C-alpha cells in the first residue's frame, strides 16, 4: 500500500459497536468519555448502538478508544460485516427481554395479590411470597442492578439506579423482617388498614414492592424496545434496494453470451444487460439501446429520464423502456447507492441523542431520596430512638421512593398513543421522537410521492380548431398503449378512462427517444415530442403553440398528436398533486409550522406544485446530499426541522432532521430512516402525527409528575417511621391506576378530518 493510501486509511472515521447501554443517558456518557481524548470527535447513536469517531491530526488507536469506553462502564468492538444471507433475517434482540418480563410478571402477580388481599394470606404465605419474589429481584432485575453499578462507578444516577435501589431496599428489609424480625412467624398477616403509627418494621415485608416494581418496569422497557426495534434498519433496507443478480455479457460481437451472476461479482468494465422492468445493477454508461429510466426514488424527479448510448445511469434505478447494454463504471462501495447509505448512517449518528425524561427526573430525585433517607437515619439515631426504628425509617424512604408507575409512565402512554396512531395510520417508533414534536417549527416537504402522487397522469388536452377531443384522445391513447414508456402509459390510461375501450394499433414503431408511430383505424398516427411533429408536419396552429408554452411554464410534459400531415392536439402529462395536500399545508400552518417544498425536480415544476398547495418557499433541483445540507442550514438558523418524505433520496434528510416523517406508501429505506411513519399516503396524516405526538408527550409528562407525586407525598410518612405495607401498596396502586387511566385518554384522540377515521373495524385506511 502506498504512503498516501496508508495515511488515508489511518485518518478514516472509525465505527465502534457499543455494548451495555440501557438508555440515551448511557449514550451521552460514552460520547462525553470519547470526546475527552485529544483530537477525537465522537457521536454515539443509542438506537443503532454505534459510535462514529473522527480525528483531527494524528488518529487515536482503536485500542485506546475501546479502553476509554470501558472506563465509562461499557464495551466497544469494531463491528464485522454480516453475511448477506444473515442480514436479511436478524435475530430479534427484544425476545430475551420479553421473556424476562413475562416470567417476572407471572411470578409477581400472586405476590402482589397476597400482599394486598388479606383473605389470600394463608399460613406461611410470606415464605411463598419470598420464594416467588426472589427470582424476580435477583434475575429479573439483574439488568437494573448492573446498570446501577455502572452508574455508581461514574457518579451518575438514572431510572435504573432508582429501580435497583428501591427493589434491593424492599427485598433486603423483607429478608431482615422474615429471618431476624417477627414477619416470619406462622400466621403473620398484613391487615387491610391505612392507619399511621410508629413501628420498628420487624413485622413488615415489602416483597410485593420489590417484585411488582421490577415486573412493571421490565414490561415498560420491553414495550419501548419493541417500538424502536427497527430504528437501525434503514441502512440494510437501502442496500437491499439494489439488484441481487445481473446478466453479464461475456465475449464480444455475435459470439457474446449472457451469464447470470450475483451482483457482487460484477467488476468495473463489465458489460451487462438491463431488460425492461429490471433494476440497473450498478452505476455505468449505456453502450447499446435507448430507454426511459425511472429515477424518482433516487432523485425525486417525476419525469422519466431518457437515455441513449453515452448516457450515464445509476444503480438501483428502474429501466422503464427498451433493452440496454451498460458498461459498469463503479461497483460496490463506490456506487451512488453505497454513498447514500453512508450519508444516511452519518445523518443518523449526527442526530443528537435525547435523554429520557424519566432519566432526567431520576438524576435529581435519586440523590434527594438518598439524602432524605440518610437524614431520617441520622435524626432518629440522634434522638436516641432504637437503631431498628431508625433503620426502618431510612429504608422505608428508599422503598417508597421507588414508584412502579415510573416504569409505566412512558411505555403506557406510548402504548396507548401508538395504538391509537396505528388505527389512524400513524406509527411512532419510540418515546425519544416525541420530544422533538413539541419544538418543531419548520416542516420540509418532499414533492414527488409526498405532496404529489408520484406517478405520471394525463392532466390536460388541447385540440386544434375543428378537431374532436375524444377522437384525438382515442387515437393517441391507442397508439401509446403499445409502448412501455411511463409517459405513454399515462396517456393510454387517461384516454381509456375518458373515452372507453381503445382500438388496437398496427405497424407500431418506436422512434428512439422522440416518439411512436403506427396505424390506428386506417390513419397513420404520430405521437411524440413537439419538435418531431414540427419536423414532419406543418407548423402547429396558434392554439396548440400556446398550449405548449403553457405546459412548459407549468413544468408539465407536452406530447403532440398528429396525422395526415397536421398536428391535431397537445396532451399534457404531469405528476399530479394529491387532493388533500393543500388542506394538509393549512393544518401545518395552524400548528405553527412553516412549510417548505424541497425537491430534486425542476424549478418550474416545483413552483407550480407549491402554488397549487399554498407553499411560499421552494427549494428545487437539489441532490440527496444537498437535501441534508438544506436541513442542516435550517437547523443552523435555529429552526427545529421536521422532514416529510417517501423516497431513497429523502432517507438521509429524514435521518438528519429533528423529526423525520416517512410516507408508508414510499420506499422501505425512507420508512426506516424516519421517526414517524404515515401508513396512509395522505399528507394530512403528518399534521395528525404531530398533534398525536405532542398529546402523547404531554401525557407522558403528566404521568411522570404523578408517578413521583404520589410517592413523594408519602416520603414524610416514611421518614417519620409511620409507613406500613398497606400505605406503601396504596401509594403504588394509586400512582399506577392514575398512569393507566391518564394514558387511556389518548384513545379519544380524533384526527382533523372525519374521512381519516378508522375503517374496517379499527384497521387503518390505506390510501
| Residue 359 annotated as catalytic | no
List the grid coordinates of 154.
461514574
**CA 714, CA 730: separation in Å to the nearest integer?**
10
Quick one: residue 570, left, alpha or beta (phi over 0 = left, psi -120 to 50 = alpha)?
beta
HSE of 379, CA atoms in CB hemisphere, 13 A: 12
Quick one: residue 20, left, alpha or beta (phi over 0 = left, psi -120 to 50 = alpha)?
left
Other residues' Cβ atoms within 10 Å of the Cβ of residue 759 = 12
Handedness of CA 393, 398, 404, 408 (dihedral sign): positive
**CA 755, CA 424: separation in Å to the nearest integer?**
10
List the grid coordinates of 370.
438518598
Radius of gyration of the chain (CA): 33
Between strands 40-45 and 676-678, the pairing is unpaired
Q: At what angle do helices 207-227 and 125-135 cross, to 10 degrees?
A: 30
**CA 405, CA 498: separation in Å to the nearest integer?**
61
Q: Where are the alpha helices (DSSP H) in 228-317?
A: 234-239, 296-299
**CA 639, CA 650: separation in Å to the nearest integer?**
19
Report how far apart, in Å, the C-alpha atoms of 96 and of each of 90, 140, 221, 544, 753 are: 14, 11, 12, 69, 41
Other residues' Cβ atoms within 10 Å of the Cβ of residue 233 = 17
Between strands 442-446 and 594-598, the pairing is parallel
> Which position among 294, 446, 601, 675 bears the catalytic label?
446
Other residues' Cβ atoms within 10 Å of the Cβ of residue 99 = 11
At 720, give phi and psi (nearest 5°).
Answer: -85, 0
CA neighbor of 263 nearest in space, from 276, 285, 253, 278: 278
**CA 18, CA 181: separation in Å to the nearest integer?**
45
**How is the chain split among helix, strand and coil, in percent rounded to 5?**
50, 20, 30
Q: Where are the alpha helices (DSSP H) in 351-445?
A: 357-382, 387-400, 404-423, 432-439
Instruction: Please list the active-site residues.
Output: 446
Amino acid at each position: 500500500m502506498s504512503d498516501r493510501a496508508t495515511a488515508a486509511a489511518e485518518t478514516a472515521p472509525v465505527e465502534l459497536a457499543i455494548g451495555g447501554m440501557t438508555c440515551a443517558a448511557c449514550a451521552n456518557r460514552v460520547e462525553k468519555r470519547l470526546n475527552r481524548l485529544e483530537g477525537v470527535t465522537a457521536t454515539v447513536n443509542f438506537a443503532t448502538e454505534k459510535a462514529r469517531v473522527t480525528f483531527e491530526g494524528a488518529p487515536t488507536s482503536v485500542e485506546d478508544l475501546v479502553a476509554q469506553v470501558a472506563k465509562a462502564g461499557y464495551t466497544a468492538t469494531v463491528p464485522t460485516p454480516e453475511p448477506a444471507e444473515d442480514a436479511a433475517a436478524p435475530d430479534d434482540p427484544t425476545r430475551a427481554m420479553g421473556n424476562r418480563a413475562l416470567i417476572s410478571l407471572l411470578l409477581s402477580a400472586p405476590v402482589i395479590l397476597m400482599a394486598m388481599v388479606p383473605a389470600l394470606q394463608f399460613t406461611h404465605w410470606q415464605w411463598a411470597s419470598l420464594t416467588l419474589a426472589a427470582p424476580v429481584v435477583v434475575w429479573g432485575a439483574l439488568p437494573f442492578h448492573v446498570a446501577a453499578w455502572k452508574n455508581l462507578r461514574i457518579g451518575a444516577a438514572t431510572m435504573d439506579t432508582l429501580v435497583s435501589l428501591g427493589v434491593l431496599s424492599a427485598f433486603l428489609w423483607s429478608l431482615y423482617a422474615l429471618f431476624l424480625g417477627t414477619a416470619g412467624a406462622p400466621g403473620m398477616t398484613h391487615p387491610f388498614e391505612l392507619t399511621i403509627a410508629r413501628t420498628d418494621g420487624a413485622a413488615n415485608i415489602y416483597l410485593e414492592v420489590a417484585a411488582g416494581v421490577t415486573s412493571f418496569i421490565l414490561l415498560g422497557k420491553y414495550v419501548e424496545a419493541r417500538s424502536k426495534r427497527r430504528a437501525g434498519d434503514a441502512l440494510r433496507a437501502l442496500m437491499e434496494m439494489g439488484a441481487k443478480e445481473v446478466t453479464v455479457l461475456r465475449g464480444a460481437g455475435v459470439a457474446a453470451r449472457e451469464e447470470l451472476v450475483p451482483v457482487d461479482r460484477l467488476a468495473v468494465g463489465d458489460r451487462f444487460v438491463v431488460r425492461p422492468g429490471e433494476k440497473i445493477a450498478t452505476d455505468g454508461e449505456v453502450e447499446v439501446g435507448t430507454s426511459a429510466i425511472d429515477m424518482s426514488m433516487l432523485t425525486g424527479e417525476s419525469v422519466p429520464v431518457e437515455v441513449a448510448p453515452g448516457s450515464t445511469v445509476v444503480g438501483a434505478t428502474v429501466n422503464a423502456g427498451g433493452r440496454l447494454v451498460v458498461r459498469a463504471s463503479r461497483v460496490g462501495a463506490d456506487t451512488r447507492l453505497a454513498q447514500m447509505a453512508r450519508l444516511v448512517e452519518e445523518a443518523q449518528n449526527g442526530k443528537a441523542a435525547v435523554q429520557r425524561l424519566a432519566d432526567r427526573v431520576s438524576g435529581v430525585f435519586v440523590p434527594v431520596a438518598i439524602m432524605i433517607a440518610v437524614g431520617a437515619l441520622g435524626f432518629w439515631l440522634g434522638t436516641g430512638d432504637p437503631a431498628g426504628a431508625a433503620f426502618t425509617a431510612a429504608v422505608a424512604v428508599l422503598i417508597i421512593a421507588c414508584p412502579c408507575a415510573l416504569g409505566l409512565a412512558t411505555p403506557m402512554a406510548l402504548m396507548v398513543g401508538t395504538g391509537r396512531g396505528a388505527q389512524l395510520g400513524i406509527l411512532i417508533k419510540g418515546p425519544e421522537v416525541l420530544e422533538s414534536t413539541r419544538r418543531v417549527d419548520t416542516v420540509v416537504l418532499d414533492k414527488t410521492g409526498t405532496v404529489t402522487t408520484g406517478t405520471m397522469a394525463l392532466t390536460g388536452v388541447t385540440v386544434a380548431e375543428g378537431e374532436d377531443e375524444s377522437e384525438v384522445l382515442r387515437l393517441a391513447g391507442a397508439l401509446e398503449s403499445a409502448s412501455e414508456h411511463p409517459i405513454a402509459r399515462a396517456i393510454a390510461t387517461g384516454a381509456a378512462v375518458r373515452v372507453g375501450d381503445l382500438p388496437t394499433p398496427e405497424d407500431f414503431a418506436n422512434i428512439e427517444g422522440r416518439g411512436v408511430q403506427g396505424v390506428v383505424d386506417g390513419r397513420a398516427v404520430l405521437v411524440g415530442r413537439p419538435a418531431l411533429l414540427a419536423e414532419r408536419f406543418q407548423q402547429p396552429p396558434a392554439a396548440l403553440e400556446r398550449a405548449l408554452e403553457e405546459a412548459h411554464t407549468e413544468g408539465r410534459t407536452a406530447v403532440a398528436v398528429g396525422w395526415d400531415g397536421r398536428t391535431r392536439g397537445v396532451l399534457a402529462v404531469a405528476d399530479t398533486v394529491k387532493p388533500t395536500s393543500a388542506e394538509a399545508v393549512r393544518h401545518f400552518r395552524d400548528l405553527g409550522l412553516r412549510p417548505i417544498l424541497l425537491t430534486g425536480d425542476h424549478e418550474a415544476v416545483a413552483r407550480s406544485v407549491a402554488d397549487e398547495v399554498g407553499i411560499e418557499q421552494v427549494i428545487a433541483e437539489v441532490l440527496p446530499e444537498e437535501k441534508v445540507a438544506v436541513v442542516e442550514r435550517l437547523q443552523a438558523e435555529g429552526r427545529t426541522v421536521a422532514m416529510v418524505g417517501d423516497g431513497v433520496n429523502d432517507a438521509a434528510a429524514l435521518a438528519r432532521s429533528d423529526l423525520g416523517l416517512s410516507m408508508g406508501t414510499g420506499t422501505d429505506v425512507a420508512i426506516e430512516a424516519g421517526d414517524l411513519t404515515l401508513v396512509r399516503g395522505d399528507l394530512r396524516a403528518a399534521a395528525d402525527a404531530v398533534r398525536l405526538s405532542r398529546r402523547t408527550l404531554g401525557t407522558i409528562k403528566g404521568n411522570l409528575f404523578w408517578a413521583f407525586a404520589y410517592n413523594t407525598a408519602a416520603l414524610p410518612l416514611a421518614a417519620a417511621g409511620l409507613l406500613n405495607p398497606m400505605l406503601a401498596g396504596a401509594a403504588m396502586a394509586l400512582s399506577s391506576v392514575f398512569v393507566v387511566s391518564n394514558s387511556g385518554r389518548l384513545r379519544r384522540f380524533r384526527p382533523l378530518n372525519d374521512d381519516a377515521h378508522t375503517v374496517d373495524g379499527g384497521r387503518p385506511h390505506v390510501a
